[in-house]
């Protein structure tokens, strides 16, 4: 029987493994109904898919952390988010000011050029 490779997973990985497991069950059931797959092979395919799904749940990032540890990490991410948001807003304000300044300078240059051209 194939071995299950254990790696750190995310919720998306778990969903993908659940989808694969359900597809395996469907294919096995169809194969059994059409007599194109034997019982042992069917059972092995389902067991492998199940083990892969369980392994992805067991290796979910943060699964072994306590609720308190998760809250601390969430607070840390919230703080980092707030700092990043303030930085982005600050840069946005600088860009808006630069845009206004550039527009003002262009207007002055165009105005002075029109005056020189008309003289």
The predicted model gives 48-68 an average pLDDT of: 88
pLDDT the model gives residue 52 = 93
Q: What percent of the chain shows pLDDT beyond 70?
A: 92
Which token pair is 68?
A: 């308190």
pLDDT the model gives residue 8 = 67
Task: Quickly count: other Cβ atoms within 10 Å of residue 4's Cβ.
Answer: 16
pLDDT the model gives residue 62 = 79
Q: Model's pTM, two decimal places? A: 0.50
Q: How confident is the model at residue 35 (pLDDT cuts 50, 70, 90)?
A: confident
- For tokens 């306590």, the residue is 66
pLDDT the model gives residue 72 = 93
Cβ atoms of residues 6 and 63 within 8 Å = no
pLDDT the model gives residue 43 = 87
């Amino acid at each position: 029987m194939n071995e299950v490779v254990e790696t750190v997973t995310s919720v998306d990985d778990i969903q993908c493994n659940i989808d694969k497991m359900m597809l395996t069950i469907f294919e096995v059931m169809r194969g059994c109904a059409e007599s194109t797959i034997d019982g042992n092979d069917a059972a092995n395919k389902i067991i492998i898919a199940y083990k892969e799904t369980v392994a992805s749940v067991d290796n979910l990032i943060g699964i072994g952390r306590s609720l308190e540890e998760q809250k601390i990490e969430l607070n840390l991410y919230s703080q980092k988010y707030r700092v990043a948001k303030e930085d982005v807003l600050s840069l946005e304000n600088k860009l808006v000011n630069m845009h206004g300044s550039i527009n003002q300078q262009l207007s002055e240059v165009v105005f002075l050029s029109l005056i020189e051209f008309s003289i």
